[in-house]
Amino acid sequence: MEQPVTPSLPLRAARRLRLSAFLALAALASCGGPEPGVAPTAAAQASAPAIQRPAGPERLVVAIGDSLYAGYGLKPGEAYPVKLEKALWAKGVNATLVNAGVSGDTTAAGRQRLGFILDNQPRKPDLVILGFGGNDMLRALPPEEAKANLAAMLAELKRRDIPVLLTGMLAAPNLGPDYAAKFNAMYPALAKQYGAALIPFFLQPVLGRADLIQADHVHPTAPGIDLIVGATVDKVAKELAA
């Protein structure tokens, strides 16, 4: 997701929207999150420092998304794609992860650069992990526009015969039930329409865990990324084995 805010909103109001949106989501999901103080085994495995690349055919994975992939506020080795690569190695999957996350990107920005990213890979990826929509929601952009942009990206990936794992978001309740109904429904609908695999809510593992969120109240900390990796690595490995 983003740090820059849309010019159409006053800066202070946009910051209030961003913070209140995330806190509302946290309240919504906190009852289903892990208990504070419970150390996730998968996260510990994902962050193990001595993991070596395994043998076997290389699997090229490109993660295309916003700051949740780019690693906003984290050290270079702490971004989601970097840690996911090591977690896949630990499972015996010889994966190479390309981090194509850009902080602040909306679905429109992702749509504009998708072709360039794919054309500049050494070969056709074995999997694209696609994660946009959080910035559209934080800017209260129309869900119809976000859905159209995601659909265009998924259609292009399908045209190129590249498998996709779509990572979804949820709209904050304070944006209203109509907005939430349209926004939340687009991810499962698009995944079904284009035959993509789906992680319904990328941030689910860290919601309700203030200790796993940075001071901006939006982005996961490095331990938070560990938890997200632990929750998603099996799904990624399954898609690479398909």
Catalytic residue ranges: 67, 216, 219
For residue 197, give every residue at least 6 positions away whose Cβ sits within 8 Å of its Cβ, in sequence order, or none: 163, 164, 165, 166, 191, 235, 238, 239
Q: Give CA–CA dist 35/43, Å, rounded.
A: 15
Structure tokens at 195: 């035959």
Of 138, 166, 102, 104, nearest to 22 by C-alpha is 138
Taking each helix axis from N to C terminus, what angle separates 80-90 and 222-241, rounded to the nearest 10 degrees? Answer: 50
- Distance, CA of 30 to CA of 156 (rounded, Å): 36
**Alpha carbon distance 48, 70 (integer Å):** 21
Q: Which residues contact 206 (CB under 8 A, 6 or more apart)?
A: 33, 212, 213, 220, 224, 227, 228
Percent helix, strand and coil across the chain, each to the nearest 5: 55, 10, 35
Buried (b) or exposed (e) across 84-100, using 16+ Cβ within 10 A? Answer: bbbbbbbeebebbbbbb
Q: In sequence order, what are the beta bridge partners of 129?
A: 63, 165
Q: How far apart, in whole angstroms, are the C-alpha atoms of residue 67 and residue 154?
A: 20
